[in-house]
Amino acid sequence: MRSETSIRLMQGNEACAEGAVAAGMRFFAGYPITPSTEIAEHLAAILPKVGGKFIQMEDEIASISAVIGASLTGAKSMTATSGPGFSLKQESIGFAAIAEVPCVIVNVMRVGPSTGVPTAPSQADVMQARWGTHGDHPVVVLCPTSVAETYTLIVEAFNISERWRIPVIFLMDEVVGHMREKVEIPDSGKLKIVNRAYPDCEPEDYLPFDADAGDGVVPPMADFGTGYRFHVTGLTHDRTGFPTTKRPEVDALIRRLDSKIDKARQEVTFVDEVLTDDADIVVFAYGITARAGAKAVRDARASGIAAGLLKAKTLWPFPDEYVERIAQKARAIVVPEMNMGQLVHEVERASKGKTKVISLTRVDAEPISPSEILSVLKEV
């Protein structure tokens, strides 16, 4: 095993797999789909070496289901897929949300709808990532912009998932998934690793969904097979874990689950700001598009335009406060996305009419280039 910081050339999907194992992930179930397949292939090779287990299931529904089952035994668990498979997983993502089973779902975005362009990048699943499963539910969505960031951010994905007992969606795009870059692998001892809170009571006293036994929001979680003998269901349930349709109890459950996002907001919001202090125009971008945005901002500065970049690594909860602060200062916010304009609506909502919001869309299966963004910056 690695013992000191090492520098490696890695593919984004490989960094995702390596980072997940560094975070403590020990169970992976998946089904092959471009452009995510290398994650599964890499984990098939490395998980058994660290006492973990890999399985290729019969489909994506089975994969997410097996992941939830494994997580209930205490194993940090993950699945990875792309658009069509992500659609199939939605029902069980809702199960993980209501049953509060930590898990990480990677979606390496490709062009949709349907089979679309399997090998080409897109960012058109950002709304699905938030609202893909039915019903109100808490979920955090993270989105890396580079291979190095993939490694560190997937560790955060597990930490958030364990801390808040929620499914975390890790949205990559085909470019980040497939490109190769330098990654500085941190010393494993230096990584911050969070594990779920275990009950400290006797099994007889265990109320598996009693948040008051924890921090008031997240109930401590026992592992299956350790004598706590508890029930887990996707039906609305009370603190004991058994089904209820009593109105106040249903209300309390849905509200408590939802409140996780508000409580977690600060801790799970990762945003980088580049030259925004004095910026007149700010680019709001995520994923590979944020890399193009960074270059466009540098080029704009070189030609005398006071441009800045707001790079969101957390897409949900949406970083409202950052956008609002910028909207108060900047003349315009430009939102380039590889979709027909999805998060631009969130930028508009968060900027509360205080600035002009400009959408730049690209849906021809090619990434947005710095010069495209630069020309918008020059026009504003």
Q: Which amino acid is at 202?
A: E
Residues 6 or more apart whose CB falls under 8 angstroms from that of 321 comprise 350
Backbone angles phi, psi at 125, to 5 degrees: -105, 15
Measured from the CB of residue 67, what is the shortest distance to other proteins in angstroms?
A: 6
User: What is the rounded distance in angstroms from the CA atom of residue 41 to the CA atom of residue 52?
Assistant: 14
Measured from the CB of residue 319, what is the shortest distance to other proteins in angstroms?
A: 32
Measured from the CB of residue 134, what is the shortest distance to other proteins in angstroms?
A: 12
Measured from the CB of residue 94, what is the shortest distance to other proteins in angstroms?
A: 8
User: What is the rounded distance in angstroms from the CA atom of residue 64 to the CA atom of residue 71?
Assistant: 10
Q: Which amino acid is at 289?
A: T
Determine if 189 is a binding residue for other proteins (CB under 8 A).
no
Handedness of CA 154, 317, 29, 66 (dihedral sign): positive
Determine if 68 is a binding residue for other proteins (CB under 8 A).
yes
**Span 193-252, contacts to other proteins by CB under 8 A:** 224-235, 242-243
**Binding-site size, other proteins (CB under 8 A):** 44
Q: Which two tokens stand for residue 348?
A: 């508009």
Measured from the CB of residue 13, what is the shortest distance to other proteins in angstroms?
A: 20
User: What is the rounded distance in angstroms from the CA atom of residue 358 to the CA atom of residue 126?
Assistant: 18
- CB nearer to other proteins: give 29 or 343: 29
Angle between helices 247-268 and 83-99 (to 10 degrees): 120
Q: By CB under 8 A, name the one of 5, 73, 328, 371 that touches other proteins.
A: 73
Q: Which amino acid is at 20?
A: A
Determine if 26 is a binding residue for other proteins (CB under 8 A).
yes
Determine if 284 is a binding residue for other proteins (CB under 8 A).
no
Determine if 59 is a binding residue for other proteins (CB under 8 A).
yes
Element (DSSP H or E) covering residue 377: helix 370-379
Q: By CB under 8 A, name the one of 4, 51, 266, 379 that touches other proteins.
A: 51
Long-range contacts of 43-51 (CB under 8 A, 24+ apart): 43/17, 46/17, 46/18, 46/21, 47/21, 50/21, 50/26, 51/26
Q: By CB under 8 A, name the one of 32, 69, 116, 118 that touches other proteins.
A: 69
Q: By CB under 8 A, name the one of 48, 184, 246, 302 that touches other proteins.
A: 48
For binding to other proteins (CB under 8 A), which residues are involved?
26-27, 29, 45, 48-49, 51, 53, 55, 57-59, 61-63, 65-75, 77, 91-92, 95, 224-235, 242-243
